[in-house]
Amino acid sequence: MANLHEIDLRDRRVFIRVDFNVPLAAGGQEITSDKRIRASLPTIQYALEKGAALILASHLGRPKGKRNPEMSLKPVSVRLRELLNVPVALAPDCVGPEVRVMLPKPGEVLLLENLRFHPEEEANNEAFSRELASLCDVYINDAFGSAHRAHASTVGMVAHVPVAAAGLLMEQELKYLTMVTQHPDHPAVGILGGAKVSDKIDVIENLLKIVDHLLIGGAMAYTFLRAQGLPVGKSLVEEDKIDLARHLLEQAGGKLQLPVDHVVAVELKEGADFQVVEQIPDGTMGLDIGPRTVEIYSSVIAQARTIVWNGPMGVFEKPPFDSGTVAVAEAVAGSGATSVVGGGDSEKAVKSAGVAGKISHISTGGGASLEFLSGIDLPGVAVLRGK
């Protein structure tokens, strides 16, 4: 795959597909986190320093192929201008004559309007892909968070541009995810949590081929415990996945570890009365891993040389059910292992535990990193490799 540093960007019109799909407060005027904008600043600044004329393009939200002022990239253009300290023009659209008259000169930045205002973007339409491609001399994909989608701006247009390469954020993401999946140092430990087994079946199967230990927490643990015939009270269980969970347990042959104690409550609410139990009583639900499990998981984590973690160990949004997730975050940070954390919740957990700086890599793409971990060749990455 071509590397950004290998390409001559001077006086070229460079199209960078970024992931500026930022969270917006109701009404779409105010950005509540500019993390995704900041994540692509190194690529943008590098291209500007090298004398490129920059076109930036992103989707934002789910406008479903229709223009929607609440999903305009206007607030993003304002924030980007503040962060870059150079003028950023916002085009009224992403294709068409209004964009052509605004094409940037070297040193200038033009941000296109939301790609998904056109249904052709998600349909990976050929004509639309050609039109996007015709805007530039060089295509850079820095939108790791969208690399699992075969859309016009992530896949279609690559066939029609003379040169294509990965941006610096994309490169960083792929470097760490490849490291943990293709050539991890052992012992390698996977940690999976979150709500559903069904969302992570492929990840579990793939990680079982890679890691030495797979530690399970979150609600998905209860489907596995049910599969072992243990009582789970009214914990969240996916009834239709119990057989599959049993099959995964057999396949795992001892690699897959489940919680041995639980924090349970009668109802799920912040500050609810809770109990720590080894067997979940009827009428209660498991909302976090218990202290004994924290101890066991922490000692496995302490031995690890590679760690990959996705999904919280409990309902971490509602204290006191955040303890297990915070303790796991601290254990990962303290392990000294190469650690890759993916998914918004695990990221929040390492941040709220104040240990984000000790994680080797926090992925910016929840869905994309999960697909990568499940062994899928992401279409937005495969197309760059094939160029």
DSSP for residue 106? T
Q: Nearer Cβ to ligand AMP, position 159 or 356? A: 356
Query: Per CB under 6 A, does 236 bind ligand AMP?
Result: yes
Give the nearest distance from C-beta 36 to ligand AMP in angstroms: 18
Query: Per CB under 6 A, does 324 bind ligand AMP?
Result: no
Share in percent of the chain as helix, strand, coil (round to 5): 40, 15, 45
Give the nearest distance from C-beta 236 to ligand AMP in angstroms: 5
Near ligand AMP by CB under 6 A: residue from 315, 329, 332, 341: 315
Query: Per CB under 6 A, does 342 bind ligand AMP?
Result: no
Near ligand AMP by CB under 6 A: residue from 108, 126, 199, 202: 199
3-state secondary structure of 339: strand
Cβ–Cβ < 8 Å for 301, 328 = yes
Active-site pick, 36, 79, 116, 226: 36
Task: Give dist(CA 44, CA 38) in Å, integer.
Answer: 10
Query: Per CB under 6 A, does 219 bind ligand AMP?
Result: yes
CA atoms within 13 A on the CB side of 41: 16
**Helix 344-352 and helix 323-334, axial crossing angle in degrees, nearest 10:** 80
Query: Per CB under 6 A, does 190 bind ligand AMP?
Result: no
Cβ–Cβ < 8 Å for 151, 129 = no
Cβ–Cβ < 8 Å for 77, 113 = no
Active-site pick, 65, 107, 367, 375: 367
Near ligand AMP by CB under 6 A: residue from 50, 196, 234, 292: 196
Query: Per CB under 6 A, does 194 bind ligand AMP?
Result: yes
Task: Give dist(CA 316, CA 200) in Å, integer.
Answer: 19
Question: How big is the site for ligand AMP, counted in residues (CB under 6 A)?
Answer: 16
Q: Nearer Cβ to ligand AMP, position 295 or 317? A: 317
Task: Give dist(CA 25, CA 38) in Å, integer.
Answer: 18
Give the nearest distance from C-beta 283 to ligand AMP in angstroms: 15
Cβ–Cβ < 8 Å for 275, 266 = no
Query: Per CB under 6 A, does 312 bind ligand AMP?
Result: yes
Is 156 known to be catalytic?
Answer: no
Is 196 known to be catalytic?
Answer: yes
Query: Per CB under 6 A, does 311 bind ligand AMP?
Result: yes
Query: Per CB under 6 A, does 287 bind ligand AMP?
Result: yes
CB under 6 A: which stretch of 22-30, 87-95, 190-198, 272-280 binds ligand AMP?
190-198
Q: Which of residues 343-382 bind ligand AMP (CB under 6 A)?
A: 343, 345
Q: Nearer Cβ to ligand AMP, position 171 or 345? A: 345
CB under 6 A: which stretch of 106-114, 292-300, 312-320, 327-335 binds ligand AMP?
312-320
Task: Give dist(CA 172, CA 195) in Å, integer.
Answer: 28
CA atoms within 13 A on the CB side of 84: 28
Q: Nearer Cβ to ligand AMP, position 104 or 193? A: 193
Active-site pick, 50, 130, 196, 292: 196
285-289, strands of its sheet edge to edge = 275-277, 262-265, 285-289
Q: Is the C-alpha dihedral spanning 369, 374, 375, 378 positive or negative? A: negative
Task: Give dist(CA 366, CA 364) in Å, integer.
Answer: 7
CA 208 to chain centre: 21
Q: Looking at this protein, which amino acid is placed at residue 350?
A: V
Query: Per CB under 6 A, does 322 bind ligand AMP?
Result: no
DSSP for residue 162? S
Give the nearest distance from C-beta 195 to ligand AMP in angstroms: 4
CB under 6 A: which stretch of 33-41, 74-82, 146-154, 194-202 binds ligand AMP?
194-202
DSSP for residue 31? B
Catalytic site positions:
36, 196, 344, 367
Q: Which residues contact ligand AMP by CB under 6 A?
A: 194-196, 199, 218-219, 236, 286-287, 311-312, 314-315, 317, 343, 345
